[in-house]
Structure 1
């Protein structure tokens, strides 16, 4: 009797272990294959290239490599001597043309007072000289303003709050107008771009919470889905010389899921977190919709059956199915295998299709 109970206990224990292992395996497969997450994420930021509006030798540099700067802070100064002389020349021209205009006005007033004693042609000429003098003076004043602007722009300032790149200019270098001398990383523009497989878009909506795990950092950043890109490059189609589509005749039997960029806005950045554009991150979307496996349709399909993509300011509702012309939902011909083997994610079973 003892042996019988012992055998029953062993069987029950084995069944419990098998059920737990099966449940854990199912959860892992569900997460890796259908949950919207990716290890292909990058921290991004706006990089502003700073180029002077004028040319000249750099005479002063007020910043160092990789320094944090504020908007309006002086970065470097271009030689001001030439532009100071140009301003003085323009101001002298203004004085000269103002004197010429005053003389023309006095002659015009005198001719007007003489009335019929002065020929009409002479009166008209004096009036014309006044108008020409006024135009010349206005032109000289514009030249003064331009010279002042050029002199002011010898002082190059940071356009945004941020961080310099790893090389500030050096004294004695020549800065050419319109050519970038350094760049500034805008510290208020940090965001995360996650590149999700297209088969994972059914679980991503605008506004959903996101967890970001940056490689090498112990903590987790929080954010939300800001937008989903509205289009990606079609590698199988290129423009031809006669503007007709040129479609690649080779068709792969095994189709890999393409990567769709999803922009994630950061909700809060800890003060001790080192934000560096280009760092690698794992992006996981929270608040998931129920998983949709192969053979099931989504109730979030759009009326036309085509998945809606997001512009930066628009909401999106993703769809896991594509509808045919009659409105019946059908599965796409292709399904995803992992596009990044390094991720270690289980790829969904690829489907075979006949090349046409």
Structure 2
């Protein structure tokens, strides 16, 4: 009779162990988790002194809010200079075009003079050809034939001179192609100057929260150097490291529940966004000079590898959720739910 209570206790313990194992298998959980959100470095794309900084550290901002202003005066001056250069170049193109038109008119006139000289030369040649046969017949004198020959030579010389002048006039015709190419270059400089002027104003690309702000108005900001960080508070996640043995039948869309260590009374629903496909092992597997380096140790107890599971939280509390907050995640094996963004 004394053994009966002991057997009952053992049976109850086995039943409880089976229930706990079943629950853990149906809903694995881990406290190796933390809150995560996407972040960006707020980086000015142009250098200059900060003239406005209307935000403070840990402040919440809305999309489109002014984050900082770089002194725009140097960039405005560069834009004005480029625009003035374009105006001057356009005027130069107009004046040059007038000169080119005059050169073309001169070339056309020279070509017309060539045609006139050619007509005179043809007429003189025809006269000579008609006059020369008449000399033998006595109808014209030798003097008249000489005058015809002289007229023909003179007309031919004038034709050659007119043709040379026409070539010179055609060669003197210039163009505005080089100036037009310069105008395209100046227009590109204007576009760059306008873009740089626009870059002096940095606005929030999304709803977020300013963190790691360690500067103020008057500081010189260098291009591509972060000024502070902006947390994307539109979407919050919990990164939970689960054992590989617990990830069976868990996939993107699996429902989950999380709570934060800062307030364990509040529960938040979520869905699995993704499961990591790679972690760096601690014991071996490191490639050294083309060969894998494996430690020669005997592990009597094999420790399961953990893989990060990214859980998208559906109803985050903007007051409680902070980047890096400790959390507990519980996965529920069931029908998949489409992750929302």
Normalising by the smaller structure, the TM-score range is 0.7 to 0.9
Report deviation, 1:59.
Answer: 1.2
Distance 1:250 1:123 in 2: 90
Distance 1:120 1:68 in 2: 76
Contact 1:194 1:264 in 2 (8 A): yes
1:221 alignment partner in structure 2? 268
- SS of the aligned residue for 2:248 comes to helix
Contact 1:36 1:204 in 2 (8 A): no
Contact 1:64 1:168 in 2 (8 A): no
Alignment of 1:27-176 (within 5 A): 27-31=19-23, 35-114=27-106, 115-117=108-110, 119-120=166-167, 123=170, 126-128=173-175, 130-167=176-213, 169-176=215-222
Distance 1:266 1:125 in 2: 77
Shift of the 275–145 alpha-carbon distance from structure 1 to 2, 3 Å rule, reads same
Distance 2:167 2:330 in 1: 88
Distance 2:280 2:33 in 1: 19
Contact 1:35 1:203 in 2 (8 A): no
Shift of the 121–286 alpha-carbon distance from structure 1 to 2, 3 Å rule, reads farther
Report deviation, 1:120.
Answer: 4.9
Gaps of 5+ in 2: 111-164
Contact 2:262 2:325 in 1 (8 A): no
**For residues 217-265 of structure 1, what are the alpha-carbon distances to aligned partners after superposition, in whole Å with 9 as ceiling and x for unaligned?**
2211111122211222244123334xx2332242342321111111112
Q: TM-score, normalised by structure 1?
A: 0.70
Distance 1:234 1:21 in 2: 36
Report deviation, 1:14.
Answer: 7.4
1:194 alignment partner in structure 2? 240
Match of 2:255 among 194, 209, 233: 209
Q: Which has the higher contact order (CA 8 A, sep 6+)?
A: 2
Contact 2:103 2:172 in 1 (8 A): no
User: Does residue 227 of structure 2 align to residue 181 of structure 1?
Assistant: yes
Q: TM-score, normalised by structure 2?
A: 0.73
Match of 2:312 among 261, 265, 270: 265
User: Does residue 224 of structure 2 align to residue 232 of structure 1?
Assistant: no
Report deviation, 1:204.
Answer: 1.9
Report deviation, 1:142.
Answer: 1.4
Distance 1:35 1:151 in 2: 55
Structure (1 or 2) with the greater helix fraction: 2
Distance 1:65 1:112 in 2: 69
RMSD of aligned C-alpha atoms? 2.9
Distance 1:79 1:189 in 2: 33
Larger-gyration structure (1/2): 2
Contact 2:255 2:331 in 1 (8 A): yes
Gaps of 5+ in 1: 1-6, 290-312, 314-356
1:348 alignment partner in structure 2? none
